[in-house]
Amino acid sequence: MSKPSTSLPEGAPHSLQQAHQVFLAGCGLPMAWADQTQWRVLETGFGDGLNFLATWAAWQADPQRPRMLHFTAVAPCPASATELRNAALAYPQLHPLAEQLATRFYGLLPGVHRLVFEDSLVQLTLWIGDAQAMLRQQTMVADSIYLSSADSDTWDAHHLKALARHCRRGTRLAGMLNASAMRDQLVQCGFALHQVVNEDAEHQDLQASFNPAWEPRVRAQVGPEPVTQPGTALIIGAGLAGSAAAHSLALRGWQVTVLAQGDSPADGASGLPAGLFCPHVSPDDSVLSRLSRNGVRQTLQRLHDLCREGQDWAPSGVLEHCTDGGTGLPASWAGGPGDDWSHAASPEQLARAGLAPDTVACWHQQAGWVRPAQLVQAQLNHPLIRFQPLATVAQLQRMANRWQALDTQGQPLAEADMVVLACGPATAGLLPADLHWPLQAIRGQISWGRHCADNAAALPPFPVNGNGNLVTQIPLPQGPSWVMGSTFERDVTALPISAADQAAAHAVNHGKLSTLLPASAATMVPWFDPQDARCQPTWGRVRVASHDRLPIAGPVLDAAGQACPGLWALTALGARGLTLSVLCAELLAARLHGEPLPLDAKLAQHLGTERLQRHMPS
């Protein structure tokens, strides 16, 4: 099959010619990526995004393109969405791509951000910060490198050594240099020069490959070696965690079977009538705050791609009533990209929530409500995913490099190359016998009801959180409804829930509403009173949390810290499944395949299974 040309029509503007002739052609693209499962590009300076857009367009046009394109770029000072659009004005063929990029180009605080396109088959990872620091702190292996910002004024040997850490033997590099001394430094770092164009000019076009005379130092491998080809996978659990993991693996070509204990997806805690995805904020921008922003971005992108806005979810924004008296917003956010995420609530927003003008509150712009079961179903709706109901897994066994899931009678339910434990409270029972993860069961109950003339004026038009969550105007089958909760009943697993426990839960949820929205709570008393006909039974299920209240996503390690071949886990999402499940699934898939991570490398360690080794009994 013939390959698409990297040349442009005569008269094409020079900067796009550079993208094709200097960077793509200089790295042997698109020929080099033909029929690969993935291709990983690292660019040293994102600039106005034209190199990314040109590479994306080349991927679109190539019938032999890799299944997934990973483009990672360092951006010390990211451009604005407007600047991205303006840079593409001269190139009509790039307008649709530039618009998609600009739409998702928001809130780029220092750190790592993952933007996805083409149903997540094109993944752009932005490292926002100092180039040398980012190259040293983050982890990825590149197949192609675009040296687009290396000049003698800002780059030195330390930058190039940091760049070499992201190369495998054979990684192609192409770029523009403005100092011949940098060529010598590249050679010293292990690059073999293939071609230098305009050698005597101030700016030189260079092509090279990483082929050091020494054996490159290999970073210590955390967990199993990355797989090179997709295979078959069993996902145990069909809730938010299981469906997210199934979808992320199917995107990468895995044949996935999802085993569910019930007769339909989301029959456990993920069957919540409605919930929120929302960033957490803290003055010091804590681990949870940064994780939640990464998670919200991933959740938003998947909702946009898979679900029906207005029916399954809505980007409504969320008002947080800061009942402790502080907004939690970092002082440095004002007037910067942090405002794209969260900022002080306006007087109008306070008034619409029935709160006094001096109430301390913030508005989360990138937040909204979801009907979780609809997201679960949408993620499972993929041609490579098979849903298997009424499949209670009692035991796992490893046979001939494959895993079998056995039922309560010891009969096989299914088998595959790998297994992902995504079954919440049931996770502990399927771990190897010598593993005892510090997991805690937590039962949660919500109160809910329908909107009617008697309560319409008492409820705000948008969700409110801060002491529990109130979600309003949810299009449930019973009609437009509201949801308030949830309780946190630690180490309680009893189901079905007794009438006494339901009454206690209604009291707890109304108490939270009284703190959150006092005026609303006063009107809503009948809907929380079990003696009133307007009060509905609570909805309750059991969730599971880890010792540090953060999810677990990664390979299952035995008591000695060695990976159990083909056994992975995505569990302990607690009350943050809507915010963190997609991020955790993408982290699991990235580690499985040796892809760029979707978040900062140190943040990823807070989600990994490796941290559990320190908390297992000796």
Looking at per-residue confidence, does 15 or 127 come out higher? 127
Same-domain pairing of 456 and 539:
yes
pLDDT at 279 (0 to 100): 97
pLDDT at 219 (0 to 100): 61
Q: Is residue 155 part of a domain?
A: yes
Q: Is residue 233 part of a domain?
A: no
Pairing status of strand 361-364 against strand 318-321: antiparallel
Q: Is residue 248 part of a domain?
A: no
Q: Is residue 121 part of a domain?
A: yes
Same-domain pairing of 333 and 191:
no
The total domain count for the chain is 2
- Residue 506 near residue 535 (C-beta atoms within 8 A): yes
C-alpha–C-alpha distance, residues 539 and 555, integer Å: 33
Letter for the amino acid at 484? M
- Judge whether residue 239 has pLDDT over 60: yes
- Residue 39 near residue 30 (C-beta atoms within 8 A): no
The predicted-structure confidence for 257-272, as pLDDT tens digits, reads as follows 999 999 999 999 999 9
Q: Is residue 593 part of a domain?
A: no
281: number of CA atoms within 13 Å, CB side? 31
Same-domain pairing of 205 and 278:
no
Same-domain pairing of 206 and 280:
no
Of 210, 227, 246, the residue that ends a domain is 210
DSSP 37: S
Q: Average pLDDT, whole number, for the chain?
A: 92
Q: Is the peptide bond before 486 cis (omega within 30 degrees of 0)?
A: yes
Same-domain pairing of 90 and 168:
yes
Looking at per-residue confidence, does 354 or 221 come out higher? 354
C-alpha–C-alpha distance, residues 338 and 285, integer Å: 11
Token pair 């979810």 is found at 313
Same-domain pairing of 77 and 150:
yes
C-alpha–C-alpha distance, residues 265 and 259, integer Å: 9
Same-domain pairing of 195 and 327:
no
Rg over CA atoms, the chain? 26
Please return the burial class of 490, using the count of CB atoms within 10 Å of its CB with bins 0-12, 13-18 and 19+: exposed
pLDDT at 529 (0 to 100): 97
Q: What global pTM score does this model have?
A: 0.94
The predicted-structure confidence for 360-376, as pLDDT tens digits, reads as follows 999 999 999 999 999 99
Of 487, 515, 545, the residue that ends a domain is 545
pLDDT at 615 (0 to 100): 63
Residue 540 pairs in a beta bridge with 445
Q: 313: helix, coil or strand?
A: strand
C-alpha–C-alpha distance, residues 499 and 58, integer Å: 62
pLDDT at 151 (0 to 100): 59
Average pLDDT, integer, range 10-25: 75
pLDDT at 618 (0 to 100): 52
Lowest mean pLDDT segment, chosen from 219-223, 281-285, 535-539: 219-223
Looking at 29-129, list the stretches that DSSP marks H as alpha helix, in order from N- to C-terminal side.
Answer: 50-61, 81-87, 95-103
Domain housing 132: 14-210
Average pLDDT, integer, range 294-312: 97
- Judge whether residue 425 has pLDDT over 70: yes
C-alpha–C-alpha distance, residues 53 and 99, integer Å: 11
Q: Is residue 388 part of a domain?
A: no
Span between the terminal Cα atoms of the chain, in Å: 59
Q: Whose CA is closest to 612, among 431, 424, 398? A: 431
Average pLDDT, integer, range 326-349: 93
- Residue 68 near residue 55 (C-beta atoms within 8 A): no
C-alpha–C-alpha distance, residues 489 and 131, integer Å: 46
Q: Whose CA is closest to 538, among 527, 526, 549, 546? A: 527
Looking at per-residue confidence, does 101 or 4 come out higher? 101
Q: Cα angle vertex 440, ends 495, 539, to 5°?
A: 30
pLDDT at 9 (0 to 100): 42
pLDDT band of residue 562 (cuts 50, 70, 90) is confident
φ/ψ region of 49 (left if φ > 0, alpha if ψ in -120 to 50, else beta) reads: left
Average pLDDT, integer, range 203-226: 80
pLDDT at 335 (0 to 100): 87
- Judge whether residue 331 has pLDDT over 70: yes
pLDDT band of residue 198 (cuts 50, 70, 90) is low
DSSP 481: E
In sequence order, what E strands does 44-166 have?
68-74, 111-117, 122-128, 142-147
- Judge whether residue 97 has pLDDT over 50: yes
Residue 237 CB contacts under 8 Å (≥ 6 apart), including other chains: 258, 259, 260, 268, 421, 422, 423, 424, 426, 571
Same-domain pairing of 84 and 174:
yes
Q: Is residue 513 part of a domain?
A: yes
pLDDT at 200 (0 to 100): 53
C-alpha–C-alpha distance, residues 381 and 252, integer Å: 15
What CATH number is associated with residue 92?
Answer: 3.40.50.150
C-alpha–C-alpha distance, residues 50 and 45, integer Å: 11
- Residue 379 near residue 307 (C-beta atoms within 8 A): no
C-alpha–C-alpha distance, residues 454 and 188, integer Å: 76
Same-domain pairing of 43 and 166:
yes
Of 162, 179, 210, the residue that ends a domain is 210
101: number of CA atoms within 13 Å, CB side? 32
Q: Is residue 592 part of a domain?
A: no
The predicted-structure confidence for 434-465, as pLDDT tens digits, reads as follows 888 999 999 999 999 999 998 988 999 999 99
Average pLDDT, integer, range 547-576: 93
What CATH number is associated with residue 449?
Answer: 3.30.9.10
Q: Residue 493 has which token pair?
A: 């697993």
pLDDT at 203 (0 to 100): 67
Q: Residue 460 has which token pair?
A: 């705000």
Q: Give me the phi and psi of 481, to 5 degrees please.
A: -140, 170
Same-domain pairing of 281 and 189:
no
Same-domain pairing of 56 and 198:
yes
Same-domain pairing of 203 and 347:
no
- Judge whether residue 220 has pLDDT over 80: no
Residue 421 pairs in a beta bridge with 236, 569
Residue 51 pairs in a beta bridge with none
C-alpha–C-alpha distance, residues 298 and 606, integer Å: 18
